Structure 1
């Protein structure tokens, strides 16, 4: 069972991880997964439902762990702080402190405070529920009394648990077309978590603590040598013997050294017991006034240890040893990345905690002597500046170029900061528009549930306080055009920056919001997990496939994947399942086409589902054809298509040359390789790809015989050949698919 496996993994991390912070985070996950399993066992949780927690409306923000499992906890459920409780009268009504606070804000004083926060913009919404009473206050101030009462009635059953009020203070949301990945406070916290790696710490400890003690120890014993100092010649010890000469101050220096060593040993790790240092130190502790306490064997070991270190590093006071120690001291004096991270985090103190950075120049300079005298003039490392850049407020394209936005998933995290303002632009009242935008941004931070039976995630307009203000939203032509332009630009950014990956579900959901705002009505489809696939698809998949067949007709993509020439206009094989119109003819075609990937007589249901789902992505081009046509990106793809295709193919080739640690990572890698391959073929379908294919053919030689059929198959189709029913060409080429029900013909390239 998935949840049990996650609990076991978290327990292992909590028990064996070396890092204390890692163990602490793992312990939190252990608690969450235990709560999930206990809720499932007791029947309090119904995993797969839109309302998985008993007696809880769908709009409540739930705590969700990996895989979409809920713990049953409410994110907006938190005890009131001291400031909230301080304003309550002694006889405030309510059964819990949270209920008393919520009810107080529905009184005259509370509504006045909410109204003041609305007008001044001094409120922050971190969880969607926190804007509910702000909306109540706005409705009352604007004379919509019935709507306000209806909203309060819907919120009333949960007022004893949920916080329905905002955090009072200035809003930190970026304005205009700029976004940020983190707040200043979040970036600063990550910088301050930087620590010196154990191996680096051990090296610095050796250079700064043990080396000076070692040199003094060697000097002590060298002063007892009669004759030339010992050294190694062809592996044989030559020179005088120690413990023959005893200087007058030797015992005093011995005692001082032992005291210094004892102090160091209390604070630092002990040296290796068989090292030269350890042998000389042990002999020094046993040696009283003369060598009578030392055996001949021990004196021989002292002589051997002295020869070893003198031959390797020079005698005490020699130029060779002095040069070595000078170089080592310079290394030890260099500031660690952890020290520089602390300096950089201190620079962030000049900016508002909940805000962002307007630019990086004010924090990017070399270390100043006033900040850290020992590191004056040291340049700030690029990788630390990259961490701080997560708080930089800039256009999406700039953050992509800087590497701050490094994937489609991260793009989906920041895009709501723009989308929220576009949606709020339909509201004439700037006060309500600000609350609406903050609520949308907070809503997009909700984690998705694991859903079955074609259920869809909770939509923004299902929040009761959002639905309450729906009548006061007008469709602004300016906002509509802006949404369409934002969708076009963001699609180009996603394809241009990450050509090897399909559009991830969070980004597709954000595109849905932009599509709705722009009035485009596009059939965008999500990636469905193979382990929860219900065997059918809703009608939008068929609609998207119809668009792909029409748009891609005659192209390399259509020939490579044998797209249907056209789809009948009438949906003759559709039916209602789970209150949804399904496309049974589309599902049946996916199952038929998936037979090519069936290589096992006894396939597992997950692999079998995966082969069907891959065909659904192929037939729809997973949103690419729909977006390119609707957003008029054809000319753009003609220009950049060769570059995007080359990058997608290069990624696929690089992925196939990387070793894998487990069979699961190998299967995942092969699936992602096939997805990148498909993206590259799509891009080539809009441009002259002769140079790209020639380059790909040159690379085929380094991939080995297992992957070569994929290259041959693509080249054959580009030359006019077609795959047969088994996905083969006459020259031995193979159609590359990511899912199979048994061993994959390309699997050997994974080892």
Structure 2
């Protein structure tokens, strides 16, 4: 862990040294500072890597600042210097500009009146759950629960000097629906777009060097004699003009440095410049003039004489191209227009805010801008605004929050609970070890007390329906794709709200895997046994689900022996090691070995597919199988590239989904799939060979019931000795 953090600091330091853009410099400098804090915290013991509460002294509810990999910096995410709106508020209410004074002011009659106005109007925004703490206090006080409100205040008081416990003001009510990103987030993404060097270099050629080349060419063209011999008429005025062009060249070369093409001795412009030098110094000889004549003849033959209609038309077209704003310019202009709207949420038509960007081709910013569209989830999927399962997972907390809000009879309280839940979802996950779990929203005392006082009924049916709908949308729209951990987390929360035990498993990271699995993996495998225990799926992978059904699901105390991994389900762990051909008993940190073990656990559990189908997900299984096959083929085609292992893993996952869907189809449908010759049409010879090998193995299973000699797996490494 220390080595990883040290490596990230070195990368950040190198990036800081290389950064030239001020904004980029600020970003990488912040990364250097953050990773320095991580290392200091680890060295002093203040940061406990692997814990759900990684910063000593922080209560569980206080959101820690987390950097890449789940490492805590030791700072509070809701801390930091005063923000502009806080400074403005302090001046307006007449208190010193410090959070402790603002905290005390919010507990006065005037402050509580301000909080009440926010709660009732809904015109506030929470980025982190701490930002809604005093809103909860105000609501509890307003509903006669002074004791529990004071309980929250006592918990917050020790952190009043450093942490912001109040919201941001919103200018407009929130539209119904969900969104991928808010307008400020989209604006920030657009602002990060930078010019592409090769594009700007070409723009420099068109706007600077081509016009200058034409001036030099015209100057030489004026030296022709009556019979057309170039360089015959070199008047004093012409020599002075040559000196002026040389000075202009030096100025342009110093100012415009994106391309060096003009400086190449082989380029026509440089030949003409060399000739000007020689003439200005009175040293022009026949060899120099001969090279100039050759260059001029080549240029005229290619583009026309100076002043000719053809050359004028060409340069006019190039000038129009050069005048076209770059993608980064368009993006920055779009960002400015979005920020000028003053809106802080998402809107039904964010592209309408860009109207007035005269002359700009908005295609380059359209996709990013549309991420701030507020609309029902099916609309965002249908219109392609949500382009991946990961993006869908980002929206999932908004859907869960709707379920949270529906349980309140008081609308403002329900809205507050919804936004607290969404803000809690912004809390970045910490790196966990030894089967520890992330903290949940119920660690927030103000949320827990709001629930205790405000919730009057539990709508379990709604939570179940939303979970099933969300899972169905993910599987239907992104077939053959793993369900991201963030989406699994939200599905678990929804099933929890419905009081249902659905054993969903997270995708484990091979580089930090500790060699054992939590009991939920065994429970998930036993659920899978009831669905695919004697089907095409289990036969293809050679899984004996009867053996899994006999294993004890009661969580055992993890072993602390140095010779074996810490394990809560030893029989399941042993089965995984056996199937992955891992013969050693003592675990190491070999990534390939870990990857093979994790993949076998995913095979045994169907990686959430069986659990979700048992919970109520229903699809057209043969159609899903064909879509999963399409994803499989797409990754097979990329297995020869630089990321071949990555695409092999994804191809194996898509193939696993395909087999699962075929296992739920009828035998006739499975056989028709296996014998469909069109499944390999349009593939290159190499990819077709791989695809046919998969289908051949499938036909063996259908015909004999025995697994193929080499089932297709994502992790392929030598047998462990």
Q: CA deviation at 1:311?
A: 3.2
By how many angstroms is 1:50 displaced?
A: 1.9
The more displaced of 637-646 and 615-624 is 637-646
Counterpart residue number, 1:674? 652
Q: Is the 8 A contact 2:131 2:165 kept in 1?
A: yes
Q: Which residue of 2 aligns with 1:243?
A: 231
Say if 1:10 and 1:174 are closer, same or farther in 2 by CA, change over 3 A: farther
Tell me whether 105-114 or 63-72 shows the greater mean CA deviation: 105-114
Q: 504-513 or 216-225, which moves further after superposition? A: 216-225
Displacement of 1:379 in angstroms is 5.3
Q: Quick check: 1:408–1:503 contact (8 Å CA) kept in 2?
A: yes
Deviation at 1:412, TM superposition (A): 1.4
| 1:590 counterpart residue number | 576
- The offset of 1:717, in angstroms, is 1.7
Match of 2:563 in 1: none
Which of 300, 312, 315 does residue 325 from structure 1 map onto?
315
Say whether 1:613 aligns with 2:598.
yes
What does residue 12 of structure 1 align with?
14
Q: Match for residue 735 of structure 1?
A: 711
Structure 1 352/21 Cα, relative in aligned 2: closer, same or farther at 3 Å?
closer
**Which residue is equivalent to 1:482?**
462
640-649 vs 621-630, which deviates more? 640-649
> Are the equivalent residues in 1 in contact too, given 2:555–2:568 (CA < 8 A)?
yes
Q: How does 1:74-473 map to 2 (within 5 A)?
A: 74-80=76-82, 81-86=86-91, 97-170=98-171, 173-175=174-176, 178-226=177-225, 229=228, 240=229, 242-246=230-234, 250-251=238-239, 253-254=241-242, 257-258=245-246, 261=249, 264-265=252-253, 267-269=255-257, 271-274=262-265, 275-288=267-280, 292-342=282-332, 344-345=334-335, 348=338, 351-359=341-349, 362=352, 371-372=357-358, 375=359, 380-381=362-363, 383-473=364-454
Deviation at 1:31, TM superposition (A): 2.0
User: CA distance change for structure 1 residues 690 and 598 in 2, over 3 Å: closer, same or farther?
Assistant: farther
**CA offsets per residue over residues 677-705 of structure 1, 9 Å max, x none?**
21222222233244543344565942377
Contact between 1:184 and 1:351, CA under 8 Å: does it hold in 2? Answer: no
Q: Tell me the CA shift for residue 287 of structure 1.
A: 2.8
Identify the match of residue 628 of structure 2 among 622, 629, 645.
Answer: 645
Q: Supply the distance in 2 between the matched residues of 1:614 and 1:198 (Cα, whole angstroms).
A: 42
Q: 1:685 aligns with which of 663, 668, 682?
A: 663
Q: Counterpart of 1:234?
A: none
Rounded Cα–Cα distance in structure 1 between residues aligned with 2:579 and 2:719: 18
One of 539, 555, 559 as aligned partner of 1:559: 539
The verdict on how the C-alpha distance between 1:58 and 1:287 changes in structure 2, with shifts beyond 3 A counting, is: same
In 2, distance between residues paired with 1:18 and 1:711?
A: 53
Matched-pair contact (CA < 8 Å) for 1:136–1:152: yes
Q: Residue 351 and residue 480 in structure 1: after superposition, are their counterparts in 2 closer, same or farther (change >3 A)?
A: farther
C-alpha contact 2:513 2:589 (8 A) present in aligned 1 = no
Alignment match, 2:508? 528
Where structure 2 has 5 or more consecutive residues not aligned to the other structure, the ranges are 561-565
2:712 is the alignment partner of 1:720: no
State the Cα distance separating 1:527 from its structure 2 match. 1.4
**Deviation digits for residues 255-302 of structure 1, max 9, x if unmatched?**
6645654654454236314122123224324534xx843233332332
Secondary structure of 1:625's match? helix
Q: CA–CA distance in 1 between the matches of 2:32 and 2:558?
A: 37
Question: Which SS does the other structure have where 1:245 is aligned?
Answer: coil
SS at match of 2:556: strand
Helix, strand or coil at the partner of 2:434 = coil
Larger CA deviation: 120-129 vs 605-614:
605-614
Once the two structures are TM-superposed, the CA of residue 548 in structure 1 deviates from its matched residue by 0.6
Give 3-state SS (helix, strand or coil) of 1:394's partner. coil
Selected match of 2:73 from 52, 71, 89: 71
TM-score normalised by the chain length of structure 1: 0.85
Deviates more, 1:17-26 or 1:677-686: 17-26
Cα distance change on mapping 1:437 and 1:573 into 2, 3 Å: closer
SS at match of 2:557: strand
Displacement of 1:538 in angstroms is 3.0
> Which residue of the partner structure matches residue 612 of structure 2?
627
Give RMSD over aligned pairs.
3.3
Could you tell me how far apart the structure 2 residues matched to 1:609 and 1:692 are? 33
Counterpart secondary structure, 1:406: coil
**Partner Cα distance (1:103, 1:128) in 2:** 19
Cα distance in 2 for residues equivalent to 1:540 and 1:359:
43
Contact between 2:508 and 2:598, CA under 8 Å: does it hold in 1? yes
**CA deviation string 1:446-501 (max 9, x = no partner):** 11111112110010111111122232254646x43332222222112211222222
What is the distance in 1 between the residues matched to 2:206 and 2:126?
51
Is the contact made by 2:636 and 2:690 (CA closer than 8 Å) also made in structure 1? no
TM-score by length of 2: 0.88
Between the aligned partners of 1:46 and 1:38, the Cα distance in structure 2 is 12
